[in-house]
Structure 1
Amino acid sequence: MSGILLLEQALNGLQLGLMLFLLAAGLTLVFGIMDMVNLAHGSLYMVGAYLIATATQASGSFWWGLAAGVAGTALFGVLLEVSVLRRLYRRDHVTQVLGTFAILLMCNETVRMIWGSQPLSLNPPAALSGPVELLPGFFYPAFRLLIIVVGLATALLLYLLVTRTRLGMQVRAGASNRDMALAMGTNVQRLFTAVFGLGAALCALAGGMLGPLLAVQVGMGESILILAFVVIVIGGIGSIRGALVGALLVGMVDSGGRTLLPMVFESLFGAALAADAAPAVASILIYVLMAAVLFFKPRGLFPAHG
């Protein structure tokens, strides 16, 4: 096992973890502040990817497409929250699950009617389509490096927003004790709408960054939604810091496990067993990680609720 391979997998895990953080940050705030299970969160990721791909094809510029898609998805999220989701806040979790799952299905079918069933292409900027030599003999895709930079910058901006602004103070108060935040005069409806719009924008940003690597297709939000829920359970519901740490852990474990486990199994049990068993074990590693965290810390690593 070479150091180059370990470095490559560390960068892959960092990239995946930061994109999961963009998805999990909005989801954990909605869950922590609004006490709402939102299964439609993955649909915002899908809608964002489609809007960015469409705007990129229309404008001929990835950057203009990214900006337009993120703004359009944030607007869509705000309209969705005001028109539909606001009526689910006071309902029980079963009703919220059923209602948001229905929204997810309707978004899938609406996207299918507008764009069709075939995957939509989203190409990275031409200047970032090739590899970059980071070390002598070690090349890494430039666009994946951009994903890491965007993820780190977004995490820093989100940290400053949550810890250094009045809106962030209200968000932290709502996540820690919503009733006390209400008693202190927080405009709850405006806070909920702002948080949901921010979460939708982060979903679109993740969709735009991952779109050139993955297929932009109907139903792409379901699989990524499961990973986002794993992240917020590991990190602690309502915690931005927990979402970041949980996302990085999941990214590193998933990326490293899928590459290193086959090598370990082959050296221990032979190539035949490694070909069958290693991928199966690698696919459940993140759930083993979640179970281990919950065994020792049932409320996650950094729970927001006091």
Structure 2
Amino acid sequence: MTSLLLAEQVLNGLQFGMMLFLMSAGLTLVFGVMGLINLAHGSFYMIGAFACASVAMATGSWFLGLAASLAAAAVAGVLVELLVIRRLYDRDHLDQVLATFALILVFSEGTRYLFGSFPLFLDVPAALSGAVTLPGGIAYPVYRLAIIAAGIAVAIGLFWLVGRTRLGIRIRAGEADREMIAALGVDIDRLYTIVFALGAALAGFAGAMLGTIQSVQVGMGEPVLILAFVVIVIGGIGSIKGALIGSMLVGLTDTLGRTLLPVAFSTILPPSDANAVGSALASLLIYVLMAGILVFRPSGLYGGRSA
């Protein structure tokens, strides 16, 4: 493997990691502040992707579709929190799992009813099409660099929001002691709705960004949701920093594993077998990584409490 190909795969891993960060940041906020196990978080990812695709095809503007993905996912998050989630805060985690799993089925079948079972395809916007030559002679797609830049911008924005604003103080206080801040006069129901809508909007944004690279289809959020849970377990529940570091670790481990392991096995196996064995082992690497971290850090890298 050449150094240029390795550098390109590192960039692909960073891009994949940034997409996972957009998913896991909202999930870890909801999990950390509200103590809620939300299996339907991947549905907001799907809603954002379909909103972007439908608006972009109707208007011809991908950027309008991107704005629609944020709005649609946030509105869906508010409705879900008000109508369903608000009744689950004091319930057992099993009730939360069952209710949010039911929401997955509702959203999946509702989306299938509205858009059909066939995938939708989005073109990369003209402003972000093509490739640029990076230092070292690496030709890399502009759109994938835009995903990395968007993830960095969202990370900076979240760090500022949580660490420097009044809302961020309430979010951190709600994670530490929700009963106390409610007693001090903070509208805890409103805070929960804002946090849930923010998490849903981030998931919808991730769906719109990645849906332009892949196809937009029913059920596309569940595989990403599994990886997002791995990220917050690695990084620590409730930690934005942990979500960012965990996303980078998972993204690089998965991408480099799928690239390097087939090459390594090709020295001892036929090419077809090397690809099959390498790909199979690469899919296990992120779980090996998670297990290894939990052995030494049961609360995750930056977790303040044990899962």
TM range (shorter): over 0.9
2:174 paired residue number = 174
CA contact 1:257–1:282 (8 Å) conserved in 2:
yes
2:261 paired residue number = 261
1:110 paired residue number = 110
1:185 paired residue number = 185
Q: How far, CA to CA, are the matches of 2:278 and 2:68 in structure 1?
A: 42
1:133 paired residue number = 133
CA contact 2:178–2:188 (8 Å) conserved in 1:
no
Change (3 A) 1:62 1:101: same
CA contact 1:174–1:181 (8 Å) conserved in 2:
yes
Q: Which runs of 5+ in 1 are unaligned?
A: none
Q: CA deviation at 1:273?
A: 4.5
- What residue identity is the alignment partner of 1:221? G
2:70 paired residue number = 70
Q: CA deviation at 1:6?
A: 2.0
Q: How far, CA to CA, are the matches of 1:267 and 1:130 in structure 2?
A: 35
| Per-residue CA distance 1:48-74 (angstroms, 9 max, x = gap) | 100111111111111111112211221
Counterparts in 2 of 1:158-237, with a 5 A limit?
158-237=158-237
| Per-residue CA distance 1:20-74 (angstroms, 9 max, x = gap) | 1111011111111111110000000001100111111111111111112211221
2:55 paired residue number = 55
Q: How far, CA to CA, are the matches of 2:59 and 2:156 in structure 1?
A: 29
CA contact 1:27–1:41 (8 Å) conserved in 2:
yes
Q: How far, CA to CA, are the matches of 2:45 and 2:83 in structure 1?
A: 19
Report the more deviating stretch, 261-270 or 202-211: 261-270
Q: How far, CA to CA, are the matches of 1:68 and 1:29 in structure 2?
A: 22
Q: Would you identify which runs of 4 or more consecutive aligned residues in structure 1 move more than 4 Å?
A: none
Q: Which runs of 5+ in 2 are unaligned?
A: none
Report the more deviating stretch, 68-77 or 45-54: 68-77
Q: CA deviation at 1:132?
A: 1.4
- What residue identity is the alignment partner of 1:31? F
Q: How far, CA to CA, are the matches of 1:272 and 1:87 in structure 2?
A: 52
Q: How far, CA to CA, are the matches of 1:179 and 1:261 in structure 2?
A: 50
Q: How far, CA to CA, are the matches of 1:295 and 1:153 in structure 2?
A: 32
Q: TM-score, normalised by structure 2?
A: 0.96
- What residue identity is the alignment partner of 1:64? L
Q: How far, CA to CA, are the matches of 2:272 and 2:141 in structure 1?
A: 32
Identity %: 56
Report the more deviating stretch, 3-12 or 279-288: 3-12
- What residue identity is the alignment partner of 2:214? L
Q: How many residues align?
A: 306
- What residue identity is the alignment partner of 1:110? G
- What residue identity is the alignment partner of 2:123? N
CA contact 2:47–2:72 (8 Å) conserved in 1:
no
Q: CA deviation at 1:142?
A: 1.0
1:14 paired residue number = 14
Q: CA RMSD in A?
A: 1.5
| Per-residue CA distance 1:205-261 (angstroms, 9 max, x = gap) | 101110111110000011011000000000111111111111111001011110011
Q: CA deviation at 1:276?
A: 2.9
1:150 paired residue number = 150
2:86 paired residue number = 86
CA contact 2:237–2:300 (8 Å) conserved in 1:
yes
Change (3 A) 1:184 1:2: farther
1:32 paired residue number = 32
- What residue identity is the alignment partner of 1:54? S
Q: How far, CA to CA, are the matches of 2:282 and 2:256 in structure 1?
A: 9
Q: CA deviation at 1:176?
A: 2.9
CA contact 1:175–1:305 (8 Å) conserved in 2:
no
Q: CA deviation at 1:304?
A: 3.5
Report the more deviating stretch, 292-301 or 184-193: 184-193
Change (3 A) 1:210 1:272: closer
Q: CA deviation at 1:268?
A: 5.0
Counterparts in 2 of 1:268-283, with a 5 A limit?
271=271, 273-283=273-283
| Per-residue CA distance 1:144-189 (angstroms, 9 max, x = gap) | 0111111111111111011000111111122233334334433210
CA contact 1:26–1:199 (8 Å) conserved in 2:
yes
CA contact 1:176–1:304 (8 Å) conserved in 2:
no
